[in-house]
Structure 1
Amino acid sequence: MKLSEVKNKLNTLETISFQLPNGELVPSHFHVTEVGKITKHFIDCGGTVRNEEVVNFQLWNANDYDHRLHPEKLVDIIELSEKVLGIEDSEIEVEYQGETIGKFGLDFDGKHFLLTNKQTDCLAKDQCGVPVEKPKVKLAELNDEPCCSPRGNCC
């Protein structure tokens, strides 16, 4: 989800809620402690230089149980970040403290912002020899011989 989409959704909400991939809600007294721009400049395993940029939200729970972040306040924080940090309309990445700091993608189901699981990946499969997709083979087409015949393929 891009930053502009988040702002559009916030403008239609009365309250903000984030749902973890396991279905649990982030406690309603969460804080957005950071809105930032993260730039990653790296070389993949195939030697290609790459640049990625995401907008980062960091969610944090404190013992401030009376705190509630309202949508208009988060929009104000986002707009200040855009102005001061030069943040553009990039994809959102959310950090949230579980057993360790987790990084999540972001989606919206009409009521909650959904923290979505992210996966690592090889960006140079063609140069690493990693097959892009595992070939599908029909076992019946491997050999015309029955499995239990002397020339069968079961042993």
Structure 2
Amino acid sequence: MKISEIKHALTTVAAINFRLPTGEHLPAHFHVTEVGLVSKHFIDCGGVERKETVANFQLWEAGDYDHRLAPQKFLHILNLSEKILGSEDLDIEVEYQQATIGKFGLTFDGTDFVLTPKQTACLAQDACGIPDAQQIALPQLQMAGAACTPGGGCC
């Protein structure tokens, strides 16, 4: 989800609900404690220099059970953050405390903002010798004293 998309979505909802990938909703008394710009400048394992920049939202909950963030207030926070985020329509990454700080993507299903799992990946699979999943050959199966071959009837 991009900044422009969340701003639009906030104009269509009466309440803000965040849902974890498990389907569980964040408590209604959550806070948005940070809206920031996160830049990552790195070299992948294939030696390619890369840059990545995202808007980062940090969600947090405390014992103030009467706290509710209204869509208009969140929109106001996003508008204030433009001096940090700039005018680029950035992708959003969400941090939420679990056993450790979890990082998530974000989508909107028309009612809830859904935290989506993020995965690590090798960005230089060809340079690392990682074959394309479609090119992986099955290993030759060996049986004690006999070789099993396709069509041989031993499997």
Partner of 2:143: none
Number of equivalences = 147
Letter in 2 for 1:9: A
Q: Structure 2: any 5+ residue segments left out of the alignment?
A: 139-147
Partner of 1:81: 81
Residues 79 and 145 (structure 1), Cα distance of their counterparts in 2 relative to 1, 3 Å cut = closer
Partner of 2:36: 36
Instruction: List aligned pairs for 1:1-155, cutoff 5 A.
Output: 1-86=1-86, 88-135=88-135, 143=149, 146-148=152-154
User: Match of 1:37, SS?
Assistant: strand
Shift of the alpha carbon at 1:87? 5.3
Q: Is the 8 A contact 1:21 1:115 kept in 2?
A: yes
Q: Structure 1: any 5+ residue segments left out of the alignment?
A: 149-153
Letter in 2 for 1:81: S
Shift of the alpha carbon at 1:144? 5.9
Q: Is the 8 A contact 1:55 1:87 kept in 2?
A: no
Letter in 2 for 1:147: G
Per the normalisation by structure 1, the TM-score is 0.87
Letter in 1 for 2:17: S
Aligned CA RMSD, in angstroms, stands at 2.0
Is 11-20 or 86-95 further displaced after alignment? 86-95
Q: Take 2:116 and 2:30, find their aligned partners in 1: how far apart are those partners?
A: 18
Q: Is the 8 A contact 1:55 1:92 kept in 2?
A: yes
List, as ranges, runs of 4+ consecutive aligned residues in structure 1 with deviation greater than 3 Å: 142-145
Partner of 2:141: none
Letter in 2 for 1:43: I
Shift of the alpha carbon at 1:110? 0.9
Q: Take 1:3 and 1:72, find their aligned partners in 2: how far apart are those partners?
A: 15
Per the normalisation by structure 2, the TM-score is 0.87
1:42-98 CA-to-partner distances (Å, cap 9, x unmatched) read 000001000000000000001111100000111111111113442521110000001
